[in-house]
């Protein structure tokens, strides 16, 4: 069943390389009047980025080809696509633009490798994954620099993602040895019943641009640990981090074909993964719209599917909350990665008794946030990923203000130009505005008032999404009541950063299917087989 991926939104799909570093891209430059006023810092940053890219190229981690069957490969037709630095608009590298043919070869390679990889012992798989983890940590600085270069997040935040992403590989290495079956008491004396857990097979892993490493490792780690092999399709906006991680997997000794990477023509790659009967599972992080297409396309060959889709996270501030803790947690939940995460606080619900005090404290804190190139000192917010992302923020903000919302801070493009946007706080928002119904995916904090606990729960649950949510209160009783009432897969209480490799990550309703991370995430890559042994009477 062919499925069109042409309408893929900001949070999806992938691309390839011949390493022409940092060519100026005219169509990503700011308007002429902004070019003349660009601060000297921008030119200095550009030189720093050029130096970092050159260093990464010399280190061997700046890969620009796809990985098929353990070999680095150009696209078969020689086509390439450019990867840009969103902070400067400059081209970092040309990477291979692959399509259906390359994807089919990657699937065949993964299928061949599966026959031997699935037969290796859990202990052996664990050792190789541990080696991969060690290499990721040994190259933490280079991976973080590469991530900041192609994705734009501050370097300190990128370092945090490497720790987070590598943690999934370490956890998977440990869990590989704990995939237990079961013995069931038989209803008849001459029978023995037991349960085996076996790898599902070849996995197609489609990942987004906002977490270029962690979204790959939390899929690939458990897949390999369970005995599966993978074909990875990273986003075309950030393929370089994925390719560097794959290079380190090779160095760790993970056998050829167990990990493959293709990027480029998203519709062709997606259709090839869906059409192949050799691919037994699709795991995807991205938009709800694309997730639905993948789910429909997987039906033709009845693939197992894991989907981590869009969110509309409420952040509920009750009157009894500690203001300092609530502001700190809201900053982390809202502005991390410039607001470009699926669990970002999309609606900040503030009880009317604390609304004015909280709004003032939040504005004071946001005003002190330093915006700039991710390599800059003390920078806490980088650029948005591209021009389309900025326009989406502008559209949602314009809709809100036309319906009565008030911009309390920010609300416009940053003077740095390019795709930088001012950290923004908007008051008097209500549930009828698009900004309350759609993911902003930008540094905009919409404040909504509520009166009672029941009102907060009703407003929070009034959405098709159900991924992340946050609650700030000093009442233990209320924290339990609200956590149980929220229709969300994740609830943070008095904390704004709750993701970890040891806990299950996933959503309710249209935010997805299945879980990633923790022991529960391992089951997504396993089949359960029941075996009945009969005629056990004594001979």
Alpha carbon distances (Å) from 396 to 157, 382, 409: 26, 20, 16
Distances (CA, A) of 451 to 318, 324, 347: 9, 21, 16
Compute and round to an integer the Cα radius of gyration of the chain: 24
Q: What is the C-alpha end-to-end distance of the chain, expressed in Å?
A: 53
Instruction: Tell me the C-alpha distance between 318 and 482, whole Å.
Output: 11
Question: CB–CB of 3/276 below 8 Å?
Answer: no
Q: Rounded CA gap, 83 and 297, in Å?
A: 29
> What is the DSSP code string of 270-329?
HHHHHH-TTEEEEEEES-HHHHHHHHHHHGGGT-EEEEE----EEEEE-TTS-HHHHHHH
**Coil/strand/helix, residue 421:** strand
DSSP 442: S
* CB-based contacts of 360, cutoff 8 Å, min separation 6: none
Least Cα distance to 164 among 379, 290, 337, 346 occurs for: 337
Query: Is the separation of the CB atoms in 140 and 159 below 8 Å?
Result: yes
| Active-site amino acid positions | 308
The answer to whether 318 and 478 have CB atoms below 8 angstroms apart is: yes
Contact predicate 214/92, CB 8 Å: no
Which of these, 321, 335, 312, 308, lies nearest to 487 by C-alpha position?
A: 312
Sign of the alpha-carbon torsion through 357, 358, 361, 366: negative
CA dist 171 and 222 (Å) reads 8
Owner of token pair 């949510």: 469
Measured between alpha carbons, how far is 398 from 380 in angstroms, rounded to an integer? 25
Q: Copy the structure tokens of residue 271.
A: 């259709």
Q: Which of 224, 231, 87 is nearest to 147 (CA)?
A: 87
Q: Give the pairing type, strands 345-351 and 313-317.
A: parallel
CB contact set of 152 (below 8 Å; sequence gap of 6+): 85, 86, 87, 338, 374, 382, 383, 384, 385, 419
């Amino acid at each position: 069943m062919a499925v069109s991926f042409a309408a893929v939104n900001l949070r999806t799909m992938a691309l390839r390389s011949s390493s022409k570093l940092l060519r100026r891209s005219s169509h990503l430059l700011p308007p002429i009047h902004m070019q003349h006023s660009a601060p000297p810092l921008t030119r200095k940053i550009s030189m720093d980025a050029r130096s970092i890219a050159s260093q990464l190229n010399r280190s061997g981690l700046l890969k620009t080809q796809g990985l098929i069957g353990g070999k680095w490969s150009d696209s078969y037709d020689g086509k390439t696509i450019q990867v840009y630095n969103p902070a400067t608009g400059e081209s970092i590298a040309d990477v291979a633009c692959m399509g259906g043919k390359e994807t089919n070869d990657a699937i065949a390679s993964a299928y061949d490798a599966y026959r031997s990889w699935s037969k290796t012992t859990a202990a052996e798989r664990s050792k190789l994954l541990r080696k991969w983890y060690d290499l990721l940590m040994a190259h933490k600085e280079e991976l973080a620099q590469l991530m900041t270069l192609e994705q734009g997040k501050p370097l300190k935040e990128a370092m945090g993602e490497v720790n987070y992403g590598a943690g999934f590989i370490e956890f998977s290495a440990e869990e590989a040895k704990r995939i237990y079956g079961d013995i069931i008491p038989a209803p008849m004396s001459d029978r023995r019943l037991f349960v085996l857990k076996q790898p599902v097979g070849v996995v197609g892993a489609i990942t987004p641009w906002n977490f270029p490493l962690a979204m790959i490792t939390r899929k690939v780690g458990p897949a390999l640990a369970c005995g599966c092999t993978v074909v990875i399709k990273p986003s075309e906006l950030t393929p370089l981090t994925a390719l560097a991680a794959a290079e380190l997997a090779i160095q760790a000794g993970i056998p050829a074909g167990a990990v493959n990477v293709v990027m480029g023509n998203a519709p062709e790659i997606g259709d090839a993964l869906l059409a192949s009967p050799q691919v037994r599972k699709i795991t995807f992080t991205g938009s709800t719209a694309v997730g639905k297409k993948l789910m429909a396309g997987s039906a033709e060959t009845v693939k197992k599917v894991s989907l981590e889709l869009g969110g509309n996270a409420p952040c509920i501030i009750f009157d009894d909350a500690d203001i300092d803790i609530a502001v700190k947690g809201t900053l982390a939940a809202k502005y991390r990665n410039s607001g470009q995460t699926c669990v970002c606080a999309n609606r900040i619900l503030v009880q009317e008794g604390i609304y004015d005090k909280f709004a003032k404290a939040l504005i004071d804190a946001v005003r002190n946030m330093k915006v700039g190139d991710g390599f800059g000192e003390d920078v806490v917010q980088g650029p948005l990923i591209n021009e389309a992302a900025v326009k989406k923020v502008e559209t949602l903000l314009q809709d809100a203000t036309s319906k009565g919302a008030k911009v309390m801070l920010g609300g416009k493009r940053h003077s740095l130009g390019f795709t930088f946007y001012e950290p923004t706080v908007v008051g008097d928002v209500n549930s009828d505005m698009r900004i309350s119904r759609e993911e902003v995916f930008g540094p905009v904090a919409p404040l909504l008032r509520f009166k009672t606990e029941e009102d907060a729960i009703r407003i929070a649950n009034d959405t098709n999404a159900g991924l992340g949510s946050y609650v700030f209160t000093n009442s233990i009783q209320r924290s339990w009541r609200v956590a149980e009432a929220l229709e969300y897969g994740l609830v943070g209480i008095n904390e704004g950063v709750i993701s970890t490799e040891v806990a299950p990550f996933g959503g309710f309703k249209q935010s997805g299917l299945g879980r990633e991370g923790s022991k529960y995430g391992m089951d997504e890559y396993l089949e359960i087989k029941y075996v009945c042994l009969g005629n056990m009477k004594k001979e």
